[in-house]
Amino acid sequence: MAKVLMKGNEAIGEAAIRAGCKNYFAYPITPQSEVAEYLAKRMPEVDGVFVQGESEVAVGYMIFGAAGCGERVMTTSSSPGISLMSEALSYIAGARCPAVFVNIMRGGPGLGGILPSQGDYFQATKGGGHGDYRLLVMAPEGVQEAVEMTMKAFNLAEKYRGPVMILGDGLIGQMMEPVEFPENFDTTPTNKDDWATSGMDTRKSDKKNIVKSLFLDPKALNDHNLLLKSNYERMKQEEILYEGYNTDADYKVLIVSYGTMSRVCKTAIDTMKAQGLEIGMIRPQTLFPFPEKAVHEAAVKASCSHVVSIELNMGQMVEDVDRCVKGQRPVTWYGECGGDIPTPEEIIDHVKSLLNN
């Protein structure tokens, strides 16, 4: 298929349709409202359903209902909206229902601002809602990767029977780039007859399927939570994705950055390389599971004297980076947290200041 020029939000909507999603529930919020606008038009064309809930709280439970039936279902929102959905997210994770959540982040806390931000790293990677659960979180750096991750998210949600989140930011949602949609993608929900409340017509046994997150017996709840934990451990073995940039060189400083911010870092790294200064970067593509081994091995390289986590927040991922480096190199944060994006020149100045201290 030839590449087409699409806005990030619209490309995410089209990717969901091409992944077989026929159920989309959402509530408008900047900077992701174009996904809802796009799918309001496209869903009827593919015999799909789009319902705008009266709030994000309602949308969360619409997602729970469709996911409990084993249908491919997605919502999109932005930071405060995801906060309102967090109660339902916990229920969906506890009931082991596959669903895709897309968070096109805006600045916070509170209402914050509508410009690009990465302030929801903690919210996404540490659970967000109540109880013991995790989300598999993927972070695209551009529109093409957002398309590929959105489509892949449906299969991963079914593989692990749980919610998967695409964590982008306002710039990815609003920018336009040429994209190509993967072809021959498997759009059929898998294994739903084993657990989903989809009726008895197509099942091979008369076993009743019950979807719930309520376990009053302590041992039953313990066993259930250990089953969830085993899934998260399996994700760490099978789903870690990251990109190494200029990591073959003998770099002086290692940058760890993701999403939109990593693209600016690449420009800064290329500029410094032309000036004779080697800088490496690890770009986590999955934020949970986090590429712990890759970050550690890149940080302790003999030529590397400093690690800096560059983020569009006041310093969140830096805590995971520091945990991975295990005190073997100094780890610091650099970034913006009000909606501005550091320029390549500002990153170059900061990196050089680390080397001069």
Q: For 40-49, write each residue's pLDDT tens digit.
A: 999 999 999 9
Q: What is the pLDDT of residue 123?
A: 96
Q: What is the pLDDT of residue 28?
A: 96
Q: Describe the crossing of helices 143-160 and 218-238 by its angle, rounded to 10 degrees.
A: 140
pLDDT digits (tens, 9 = 90+) for 124-171: 999 789 999 999 999 999 999 999 999 999 999 999 999 999 999 999
3-class SS string, the chain: CCCEEEEHHHHHHHHHHHCCCCEEEECCCCCCHHHHHHHHHHHHHCCCEEEECCCHHHHHHHHHHHHHCCCCEEEEECHHHHHHHHHHHHHHHHCCCCEEEEEEEEECCCCCEEEECCCCHHHHHCCCCCCCCCCEEECCCCHHHHHHHHHHHHHHHHHHCCEEEEEEEHHHHHCEEEECCCCCCCCCCCCHHHCCCCCCCCCCCCCCCCCCCCCCCHHHHHHHHHHHHHHHHHHHHHCCCEEEECCCCCCCEEEECCHHHHHHHHHHHHHHHHCCCCEEEEEECEEECCCHHHHHHHHCCCCCCEEEEEECCCCCHHHHHHHHHCCCCCEEEEECCCCCCCCHHHHHHHHHHHHHC
pLDDT digits (tens, 9 = 90+) for 212-222: 999 999 999 99
Q: Does domain 242-356 have CATH number 2.40.160.40?
A: no
Q: What is the pLDDT of residue 202?
A: 66
CA 141 to mean position of chain CA atoms: 11
Q: Does residue 5 contact residue 59 with C-beta atoms inside 8 Å?
A: no
Q: Does residue 107 contact residue 225 with C-beta atoms inside 8 Å?
A: no
What values do phi and psi take at 164, rounded to 5?
-120, 140
What is the distance between the alpha carbons of residues 275 and 54, in angstroms, rounded to a whole number? 55
Q: What is the pLDDT of residue 203?
A: 67
What is the distance between the alpha carbons of residues 153 and 301, in angstroms, rounded to a whole number? 33
Please tell me if the domain spanning 4-239 has the same topology as the one spanning 242-356: yes
**CATH code matching the domain that covers 4-239, chosen among 3.40.1710.10, 3.40.640.10, 3.20.20.100, 3.40.50.970:** 3.40.50.970
What is the distance between the alpha carbons of residues 333 and 315, in angstroms, rounded to a whole number? 6
Average pLDDT over residues 279-307: 98
Q: What is the pLDDT of residue 61?
A: 98
Q: Residue 55 corresponds to which tokens in the numbers above?
A: 């709030």
Instruction: Please state, in angstroms and as integers, the Cα–Cα distance from residue 284 to each residue in 248, 255, 288, 311, following that order.
Output: 17, 11, 9, 12
Average pLDDT over residues 54-76: 97
Mean pLDDT of the chain: 96
Average pLDDT over residues 262-291: 98
pLDDT digits (tens, 9 = 90+) for 86-104: 999 999 999 999 999 999 9
Q: Does residue 254 contact residue 298 with C-beta atoms inside 8 Å?
A: yes
For residue 333, name the pLDDT band (cuts at 50, 70, 90): very high
Instruction: Please state, in angstroms and as integers, the Cα–Cα distance from residue 134 to each residue in 6, 131, 147, 158, following that order.
Output: 31, 9, 23, 15
Q: Does residue 162 contact residue 68 with C-beta atoms inside 8 Å?
A: no
- Find where tokens 């968070």 sit: 103
Instruction: Please state, in angstroms and as integers, the Cα–Cα distance from residue 277 to each residue in 244, 263, 303, 330, 355, following that order.
Output: 17, 18, 12, 19, 11
Per domain, the residue ranges of the chain are: 4-239, 242-356
